[in-house]
Amino acid sequence: MRRDVFQAIADPNRRAILSLLARQRMTLNGVADNFRISRPAVSKHIRILKECGLVVVIPQGRERYVEAKFDKLNEVTDWVEQYRQLWETRFNRLDDLLEMMKQEKKNALEK
Amino acid sequence: MPSKNKVTVTAEPGTQELFIVREFDAPRELVYKAHIDPKLYVQWLGPHGYEMVLETFEPTNGGKYRYVHKDKDGNEYGFHGSFHAMSIENMIQTFEFEGYPGHVSLDCMTLEELPGNRTKATIHSIFQSVSDRDGMIQNGMEKGVSEGYERLDDILKEMK
């Protein structure tokens, strides 16, 4: 099973859990109270988020708190940056080609 | 030497789409021609270090295309799809990587005329799922990294 940041944010419930945790850390039950899906379903999503490194679960007394780790989300931006570079190489080549085409057109007009 | 135009890629987390925007210091008809003339298309589309073979290329509504990227070790990566609307303002096509069959994206490209004989290209890609899109970005990332190193090699060679 794929466990990375993309897997983590692929599900709308997990995105909702993350935006809830963006404001403050919450207990497991506190998170579940905000959702209409079952408690085991919420626990499953939190487990996936944990395995993807986007949240940590901290036991404190009898409660277990869930805290978001947002720096992990930056991975997404970096991947997009690499994808951008692929297109940049491609389009830089297209620039060279367009320069040649412009020159050819100019030469044809001058004839 | 024309000024360097930057590519922007926008991919909001958790969505099925991405946008690629780039401006060119060339009139729209030339940018369009570089997309529909097979002799020109092969010169810029293939990733660096790959031979690009355009097997089928019918850039009209209902036409199809197939191309293969071949690397030095003999690995081949095939891509194919169909063309839909094809005009200087608007090009729509489907795209499928044969190494990941059944996952098809829709690419809509617009070419906008800018003052001074310049052109703005916008590609809007829509994927079947969030993970399809992210997989595509990830795949692009690996190629992007290797290309980055290759470019660095070229620069280092020049410095010698």
- A17-63 tens-digit pLDDT: 887 887 788 999 999 999 999 999 999 999 999 998 889 999 999 99
Q: What is the pLDDT of residue B144?
A: 43
For the entire predicted model, the pTM comes to: 0.65
Query: Which residues from chain B sit within 8 angstroms of residue A79, using beta carbons?
Result: 134, 137-138, 141
Q: What DSSP element (H or E) covers A74?
A: helix A74-110
A108: closest CA of chain B, how far (Å): 14
Strand order in the sheet with A26-27: A26-27, A63-68, A55-60
Residue B141 pLDDT exceeds 60: no
Residue among B11, B24, B145 minimizing CB distance to A95: B24
Q: Does position A98 have pLDDT exceeding 90, yes or no? A: yes
CB pairs under 8 A between A and B: 108
**Residue A105 sits at the chain B interface (C-beta within 8 Å):** yes
List phi, psi (to 5°) of A51. Answer: -65, -25
Residues of A within 8 A of B45 (CB-CB) are: 90
Q: Is the pLDDT of residue B14 over 50?
A: yes
pLDDT band at B121 (very low <50, low <70, confident <90, very high): very high
Mean pLDDT of all residues in B132-159: 54
Distance from C-alpha of A27 to C-alpha of A7, rounded to nearest angstrom: 23
Give me the phi and psi of B4, to 5 degrees please: -75, 120
Q: What is the mean pLDDT of residues B7-30?
A: 90
Token reading at B156: 């280092």
pLDDT, position B159: 39
Q: How much of chain A, in percent, has pLDDT values that exceed 90?
A: 41
Beta bridge mates, B92: B108
DSSP B74: S
